[in-house]
Chain A
Amino acid sequence: MGLAKRIIPCLDVDAGRVVKGVQFLDIRDAGDPVEVARRYDRQGADELAFLDITASSDQRDTILHVVEKVASEVFIPLTVGGGIRQLEDIHRLLHAGADKVSVNTTAVNNPAFIKKASDHFGNQCVVVAIDAKRVGSEGSLRWEIYTHGGRNATGLDAIRWANRMVDLGAGELLVTSMDRDGTRDGFDLELMKQITDAVSVPVIASGGVGTLEHMADGVLLGGADAVLAASIFHFGEFTIEQAKRHLATKGIEVRL
């Protein structure tokens, strides 16, 4: 027995509400973030991830209040992403009670920021979020990095990018398949496997969970250290505990 695989529910927060869209369309309201966080904590979530998708800058502080509130009653690790551009943004989130931050667009625009953040706060709190999309076809299959919620192509190769981010100081990678995100068709296991084989840091698999079997696949076939999911938990389909029990029946070590 040893280190458990983690289940991380993800809360997309827009102006103080949890929302969830299917491939960035049809955004459904999934409740008050503090309420939702409490519920997942009770169900045995191993960590919580918050992604701030608030578009308007005057509501930027909303996420800080959410984190502060959650951190005063939920005592598991909290990762917060969205709109992180400078060290001061990280400082404010950590001060509010976040343990890790996830950085996506800023890492692409300014890779040196990852080194700066890691040197300053330690690599344990720097998660690089990698949004990757399949390009090319059978035989020459590869993945390209996208930013801005899958809208902007960067030309960067996902596997090389993952290695580079770890070299610069990422302590963990959050890998999302843009092809699968919101589809409920399961993770892009080839993508996950290539990245988990390539890097020495823990990898969180994300994008596409629709069944508990998908989560087990992420660990057993994708090699993930943690799996992240949103909609299957938000709308009461499964509890975290059910997910963990399912993983345990597959021989995966979990915290029950």
Chain B
Amino acid sequence: MSGIVIANLGTGNLRSVSKAVEFVSGHAATVTADPNIIENAEHLILPGQGAIGTWINQLNLDPVLKKAVESRVAHGPVLGICLGLQALFDHSDESGGIYGLGILPGSVRHFANGHREADKGSVEEEHKLKIPHMGWNQVYQVGEHPLWQDIPDGERFYFVHSYFVEAANNVDEVGQCTYGNVFTAAAARKNIFATQFHPEKSQRAGLQLIKNFINWNGV
């Protein structure tokens, strides 16, 4: 087994994630694109920032790596961050429209174009939205999860994104945030927990979440 592993899919500030892991656990994380190490990770982190096309294509161009990620994601604790949340879903409108891993049902849409049916009334507010959604916003926890331990409901986390997740199944949504419309700030199913915000950039609350992840066995 290879400890805490951060999958390097060519995007994002991997150093911040690894430094945050090191800060809370006292152990260095392995940052790698090696399929073997990824498949055998005790704790796997899937970070990512930037364009989702880059992230997904990195996997599509390397079938061995893709298979390793898919097989590892099926069991054992996984933490997705930003693109690592979005890529779990069926489809994203970004990068000209692209299919995700399809592990969770739902889609990823642009703030300017997408809002939930129930929020249609708030279209006017949409015009005032600055995009990207950048800064500290409140995350409301939906139900209980070991990763929310010692984190107050409504705590602020750091977000930076222009596309948001619309989970199709309410049961997969464990955190919500509002920016023009309500969107999925965190999703979880079985051994997977994923956030739209950046715990590695969310000071105390973010470090607590990473600590909770490291202490979590995925069940």
Q: Which residues of A contact B (CB under 8 A)?
A: 1-6, 41, 46, 71-73, 75-77, 94-99, 121-125, 171-172, 200-203, 225-226, 255
The one of B132, B200, B202 that contacts A201, using a Cβ cutoff of 8 Å:
B132
How many chain-B residues does the 8 Å CB contact rule pick out?
A: 35
Q: What would 12 A/B residue contacts be, using CB atoms closer than 8 Å?
A: A3-B133, A4-B156, A6-B135, A75-B23, A75-B201, A77-B158, A77-B160, A95-B15, A124-B49, A125-B49, A225-B135, A226-B135
CB-defined contacts of B132 to chain A, threshold 8 Å: 123-124, 171-172, 201-202
Chain B, range 160-219, C-beta contacts under 8 Å to A: 160-162, 178-179, 200-203, 206-207
- Beyond A3-B179, A202-B134, A225-B134, list 12 extra A-B contacts (CB 8 Å): A1-B154, A2-B137, A3-B136, A72-B23, A75-B201, A75-B206, A97-B15, A121-B50, A122-B49, A122-B50, A200-B131, A225-B130
The contact string, 1 if C-beta is below 8 Å from chain A, for chain B 54-89, is 000000000000000000000000000000000000
Instruction: Report if A71-B206 is in contact (Cβ < 8 Å); known contacts: A3-B135, A225-B130.
Output: no
In the complex, are the beta carbons of B19 and A2 less than 8 A apart? Answer: no
Q: Does B11 contact A (CB under 8 A)?
A: yes
CB-defined contacts of A202 to chain B, threshold 8 Å: 130, 132, 134-135
A8 vs chain B, min Cβ distance (A): 10
Q: Does B16 contact A (CB under 8 A)?
A: yes
Q: How far is the CA of A121 from the CA of B50 in the complex (A)?
A: 6
B150 vs chain A, min Cβ distance (A): 16
Q: How far is the CA of A2 from the CA of B156 in the complex (A)?
A: 9
CB-defined contacts of B137 to chain A, threshold 8 Å: 2-4
In the complex, are the beta carbons of B49 and A41 less than 8 A apart? Answer: no
Q: Does B20 contact A (CB under 8 A)?
A: yes
CB-defined contacts of B15 to chain A, threshold 8 Å: 71, 94-97
In the complex, are the beta carbons of A75 and B49 less than 8 A apart? Answer: no
Q: Does B13 contact A (CB under 8 A)?
A: yes
Chain B, range 1-44, C-beta contacts under 8 Å to A: 11, 13, 15-16, 19-20, 22-23
In the complex, are the beta carbons of B49 and A6 less than 8 A apart? Answer: no
CB-defined contacts of A123 to chain B, threshold 8 Å: 132, 162
Q: How far is the CA of A225 from the CA of B128 in the complex (A)?
A: 12
Q: How far is the CA of A95 from the CA of B179 in the complex (A)?
A: 30
B204 vs chain A, min Cβ distance (A): 8
Instruction: Report if A201-B131 is in contact (Cβ < 8 Å); known contacts: A71-B15, A75-B206.
Output: yes
Q: Does B142 contact A (CB under 8 A)?
A: no
In the complex, are the beta carbons of A71 and B19 less than 8 A apart? Answer: yes
3 tightest A-B CB contacts, nearest first: A122-B50, A255-B136, A124-B160
In the complex, are the beta carbons of A76 and B203 less than 8 A apart? Answer: yes
**Nearest residue in B to A74 (C-beta to C-beta)?**
B203
In the complex, are the beta carbons of A2 and B178 less than 8 A apart? Answer: yes
In the complex, are the beta carbons of B51 and A122 less than 8 A apart? Answer: yes
Q: How far is the CA of A203 from the CA of B51 in the complex (A)?
A: 22
Instruction: Report if A255-B50 is in contact (Cβ < 8 Å); known contacts: A73-B23, A76-B201.
Output: no
Q: How far is the CA of A96 from the CA of B13 in the complex (A)?
A: 9
In the complex, are the beta carbons of B162 and A99 less than 8 A apart? Answer: no
Q: How far is the CA of A75 from the CA of B207 in the complex (A)?
A: 8
In the complex, are the beta carbons of A6 and B136 less than 8 A apart? Answer: yes
In the complex, are the beta carbons of B158 and A76 less than 8 A apart? Answer: yes
CB-defined contacts of B179 to chain A, threshold 8 Å: 2-3
CB-defined contacts of A95 to chain B, threshold 8 Å: 15
CB-defined contacts of B20 to chain A, threshold 8 Å: 75
In the complex, are the beta carbons of B49 and A46 less than 8 A apart? Answer: no
Q: How far is the CA of A5 from the CA of B137 in the complex (A)?
A: 10
CB-defined contacts of B207 to chain A, threshold 8 Å: 75
In the complex, are the beta carbons of B134 and A172 less than 8 A apart? Answer: yes
B112 vs chain A, min Cβ distance (A): 8
Q: How far is the CA of A202 from the CA of B111 in the complex (A)?
A: 14
CB-defined contacts of A41 to chain B, threshold 8 Å: 203
CB-defined contacts of B133 to chain A, threshold 8 Å: 3
